[in-house]
Structure 1
Amino acid sequence: MNTWESIQYWLTEHPTSSQIFKYVLWVVIIVFLLQFARRTLKKRLPNTDTRYKSQKIIETIGYILLIILTISYFTGNIKDFTLAIGLLTAGITITLQELILSIAGSLFIFFVKVYQPGDRIEINGIKGDVIDINSMYTTMMEIGQWISSDNYSGRIVKLSNAFVFKGPVYNYSQDFPFIWDELNLPIRYGSDVEMAKKIVIEVAREVLSEYVQKSVEQWKHVVEKYYIEDAIVDPTLAITLTDNWIRFNLRYIVDYKKRRHTKNRLNELIKKAFDDSDGKVQLASATFEIVNIPVLDIKKGDTPRA
């Protein structure tokens, strides 16, 4: 009896082992085909975004095929298959709620396009750039925490996809990749206010012109897609009188990834323009001026009165 005949005899005499062997063989074949498909698409698709999405689609198909294979192979017929599906669903719902929510969340994220790799989001109190989404987790490069402004902290955060069902998701870049920011300037009383206003607006228009032009077109798409009013994307200036100075509040639109750089550029150019105004415009500071000190007239020899 040769080796092949021995294997056939063993499989015939041990039906349970035969079923397991065939199941494992099918799993190996499916995994091999999926891996082959992933490698082929990875080589032939030049676009990074398309390549990434294709990998995730193949991964999802693989999970579905393996689940169907596992259930159908060990049940035998459609009736048992339906019963097994019901029992399996009930069991998983009770024992693996978080796992199911995570998988459902990944499908929800993918089909509804809540966010995608490259988007800047805030979810469950964590803000960062999405760098990967799989069937269980969303991976983010964290922003903020002990780092000021919108800078990377260096920590990579893995967050369960189930959180898309548990709270709001703030997306900084979807549909409208711009945000509104503000710059407050304390102007000293006695300064030429009209000159100060002209300087601030001119500098803002110079620095922000590119963002304004791009945001106008983007905002049109937002208005067409959502029930929302038109917005002012040009820089606007509001003035408030305080006890210590005149506060200039500059409101402007900026690319969500260039907020810190843009604010620094505005501060530099406005400060330089104020310095070149020959003292007509001055920035204020929190200083205290003593208006009057009471004069004490004390003569030698005077007896203090009670």
Structure 2
Amino acid sequence: MDFVKEWLDNQPVMVSLLKYLLWVVFVLGLIQFLRRLLKRNLPSSTTRYKSQKGIEVIGYFILIILTLSYFTGNIKDFTLAIGLLTAGITITLQELILSIAGSIYIFVVKVYKPGDRIEINNIKGDVIDVDSIYTTMMEIGEWVSSDNYSGRIVKLSNAFVFKGAIYNYSRDFPFIWDEFNIPVRYGSDIELAKKLVIDIAQDTLSDYVEQSKAKWKHVVDKYYIENAEVAPTLAITLTDNWINFNLRYIVDYKRRRGTKHLLNERIGKAVAGTNGKVELASTTLEIIRIPGTKPEDKTKS
């Protein structure tokens, strides 16, 4: 026994190494024990997976700290090593750190929330979830026309809130302005055409106009912005081919496609009911004259 004690006293490096290995074995064993314990007692597979990964990360971090504490000579070197480790982790995990900071920014500033329709990093969709790292969206557009779902669910890093513009279709003012052109043929009754278009627009959009007035007043009071016309407006332009009616109107951001369809349908029926007083124009080609041709007489030699 005295021999072993004497040998240990003469081998401080070996003793320190053995203590280090015992601590490593203990920590690794503790990690495995906790993983099995969580696996047996947590009902949800998602929670089990995340908890086990969390235990592994914490355990390996403890091993790193343990290793540094054993192989650095004093507390000054240990502090330096911790600083270098922290700097390395920060550089390596900067995207993750930015994502977590972005999630805090989203919740505190209320940039957007689940249910909002946004466009960020050239991706447009409805926000269906915001967690500590990702924003999950139901994508709109791409190969699908207008504001329809494509069917793809997109996960976007929250770090993007610091990297570019965020377009929110629903925060503060859940309406957007839309417009389309109506080509009216020259010779039509212009005053009748104007009345038809404006009357149909006012009747179809009356609910949106009334709802948007209070919302727009709130926006004007909150931000440095001038007042705007929310009622339907009509601008007329004379072109080489027809009289162009440009109808501009306000609509719920989720009803843009359906509203445009309804307006076009009602205006088309109203124009057809004028018995030719108002006619829609289209691009046509008019042949003024066909050059005369004279067949060659092959009997002449």
The TM-score range, normalised by the shorter chain, is 0.7 to 0.9
- Equivalent position to 1:166, from 151, 163, 167: 163
- Mark the CA change 1:294 to 1:152 in structure 2 (over 3 Å): closer, same or farther: closer
* Number of the residue aligned with 1:128: 125
Quote how far apart the aligned CAs of 1:289 are. Answer: 1.6
Question: SS in structure 2 opposite 1:101?
Answer: helix
- Mark the CA change 1:177 to 1:287 in structure 2 (over 3 Å): closer, same or farther: same
AA in 2 matched with 1:180: W
TM-score w.r.t. the length of structure 1 is 0.72
AA in 2 matched with 1:243: D
**Kept in 2: contact 1:92–1:100 (CA 8 A):** no
**Kept in 2: contact 1:193–1:281 (CA 8 A):** yes
**Is it true that 1:284 corresponds to 2:281 in the alignment?**
yes
* Number of the residue aligned with 2:243: 246
Percent identity between matched residues is 67
- Equivalent position to 1:98, from 82, 87, 95: 95
- Equivalent position to 2:104, from 94, 107, 115: 107
- Mark the CA change 1:191 to 1:87 in structure 2 (over 3 Å): closer, same or farther: same
- Mark the CA change 1:25 to 1:211 in structure 2 (over 3 Å): closer, same or farther: farther
Quote how far apart the aligned CAs of 1:83 are. Answer: 8.1
Quote how far apart the aligned CAs of 1:288 are. Answer: 1.2
Q: Mapping of 1:160-239 within 5 angstroms?
A: 160-239=157-236
Quote how far apart the aligned CAs of 1:21 are. Answer: 8.7
**Is it true that 1:293 corresponds to 2:289 in the alignment?**
yes
Quote how far apart the aligned CAs of 1:90 are. Answer: 2.2
**Kept in 2: contact 1:101–1:162 (CA 8 A):** yes
Quote how far apart the aligned CAs of 1:174 are. Answer: 0.6
Quote how far apart the aligned CAs of 1:15 are. Answer: 7.4
Greater shift, 86-95 or 165-174, is seen at 86-95
AA in 2 matched with 1:273: A
* Number of the residue aligned with 1:264: 261
Equivalents in 1 of 2:261, 2:83: separation in Å? 60
* Number of the residue aligned with 1:9: none
- Mark the CA change 1:85 to 1:133 in structure 2 (over 3 Å): closer, same or farther: farther
Unaligned runs of 5+ in 1: 1-13, 30-34, 36-58, 302-306
Greater Rg over alpha carbons, structure: 2
Q: 4+ residue runs of structure 1 moved beyond 2 angstroms?
A: 14-29, 81-92, 294-301
- Mark the CA change 1:91 to 1:28 in structure 2 (over 3 Å): closer, same or farther: farther
- Equivalent position to 1:145, from 138, 142, 145: 142
Equivalents in 2 of 1:185, 1:251: separation in Å? 11
Unaligned runs of 5+ in 2: 1-21, 43-49, 67-75
Quote how far apart the aligned CAs of 1:296 are. Answer: 4.2
Equivalents in 1 of 2:294, 2:158: separation in Å? 79
- Mark the CA change 1:129 to 1:84 in structure 2 (over 3 Å): closer, same or farther: farther
- Mark the CA change 1:296 to 1:16 in structure 2 (over 3 Å): closer, same or farther: closer
Give the alignment's Cα RMSD to 1 decimal: 3.9
Equivalents in 1 of 2:291, 2:226: separation in Å? 63
Equivalents in 2 of 1:82, 1:27: separation in Å? 31
